[in-house]
């Protein structure tokens, strides 16, 4: 196999002021096939992201100067690069806020490097699935072009994270049928649904809010004890 034939390695940016953690992750992620850089502050992270060439950002909430939330807010104004948030264990509000602001997933500290790799690969698989999806899906006034990472409703662009887009795509494909929470979590988030995991519900809440900005003709209905379904008025 020539150099040109080898698949490009995924480029990660780890944003955390814990130098020991960053050093450990650099050592672990290399053999896993990742090209990894680190940034110790939010400003340094924004400057590195602006130069381009990254595939995913792992972003700690607790940072000096600019918090991870502020970094994410500024980032989402110009970029849809996938972001995995690192939050303090037990701080559910951090996870909810991060997802609402446009994070693709979260991981609570302390975590195992193996779990981090699993979460990163789940996000990357989701993006790859979007790239291979049907060119165009429609549901009433809603249209999705997964390959272009684009969704529109009533002629207006919906700014969605990769997780939100995948959830919406699965609901459109179901065409008013209920999609189970377990299936949505597995297919959209790339992991098993655990009893304490509210990520899916937060993503659905965000989708409802974004759809509701432009129309009341399409909405997401929760089916008690089952899952979610799209409805059209």
- The domain spans of the chain are 3-128, 133-232
User: Cα 53 vs. chain centroid, distance in angstroms?
Assistant: 18
CA distance 81 to 83: 6
Asked if residue 151 lies in contact with residue 168, where contact means CB atoms within 8 angstroms, the answer is yes
| Structure confidence at residue 70 (pLDDT) | 96
Give the C-alpha separation, 25 to 51, whole Å: 22
The fold of the 133-232 domain, in CATH, is Arc Repressor Mutant, subunit A (1.10.10)
Nearest 10 degrees: Cα torsion 71, 77, 78, 79: 60
* 67 touches 17 (CB < 8 A): no
Interacting residues of 54 by C-beta distance below 8 A, sequence separation 6+? 11, 12, 13, 37, 48, 81
Q: What is the pLDDT of residue 53?
A: 93
Q: Is the pLDDT of residue 1 over 60?
A: no
Taking only the tens place, the pLDDT of each residue in 157-196 is 998 888 899 899 999 999 889 999 999 998 888 888 888 8
State yes or no: pLDDT of 4 exceeds 50. Answer: no
**How far is CA 42 from each of CA 61, 73, 111, 183, 184, rounded to the nearest angstrom?**
10, 11, 21, 35, 32
> What is residue 79's predicted lDDT score, i.e. its pLDDT?
87
| pLDDT at residue 134 in the model | 56
pLDDT tens by residue, 59-101: 999 998 899 999 999 999 888 899 999 988 667 788 888 888 8
- For 140, left (φ over 0), alpha (ψ -120 to 50), or beta? left
The DSSP secondary structure of 132-187, one letter per residue, reads TS-S-EEETTEEEETTTTEEEETTEEE---HHHHHHHHHHHHHTTS-EEHHHHIII
> Please, what CATH class does the domain formed by 3-128 belong to?
alpha beta
């Amino acid at each position: 196999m020539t150099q040109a034939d080898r698949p490009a390695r995924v480029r990660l940016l780890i944003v955390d002021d814990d130098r020991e953690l960053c050093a450990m992750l650099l050592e672990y992620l290399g053999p896993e096939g990742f090209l990894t850089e680190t940034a110790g502050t939010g400003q340094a992270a924004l400057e590195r992201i602006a130069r381009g060439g990254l595939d995913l950002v792992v972003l700690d909430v607790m940072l000096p100067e600019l918090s991870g939330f502020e970094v994410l807010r500024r980032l989402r104004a110009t970029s849809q690069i996938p972001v995995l948030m690192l939050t303090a264990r037990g701080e559910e509000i951090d996870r909810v806020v991060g997802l609402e602001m446009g994070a693709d997933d979260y991981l609570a500290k302390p975590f195992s490097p193996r779990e981090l790799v699993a979460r990163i690969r789940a996000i990357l698989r989701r993006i790859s699935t979007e790239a291979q999806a049907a060119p165009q899906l429609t549901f009433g006034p809603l249209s999705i072009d997964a390959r272009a990472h684009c969704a529109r409703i009533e002629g207006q662009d919906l700014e969605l994270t990769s997780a939100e887009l995948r959830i919406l795509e699965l609901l459109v494909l179901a065409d008013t049928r209920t999609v189970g929470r377990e299936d949505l979590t597995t297919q959209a988030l790339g992991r098993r649904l655990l009893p304490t995991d509210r990520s899916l519900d937060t993503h659905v809440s965000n989708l409802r809010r974004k759809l509701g900005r432009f129309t009341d003709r399409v909405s997401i209905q929760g089916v008690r004890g089952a899952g979610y379904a799209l409805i059209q008025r």
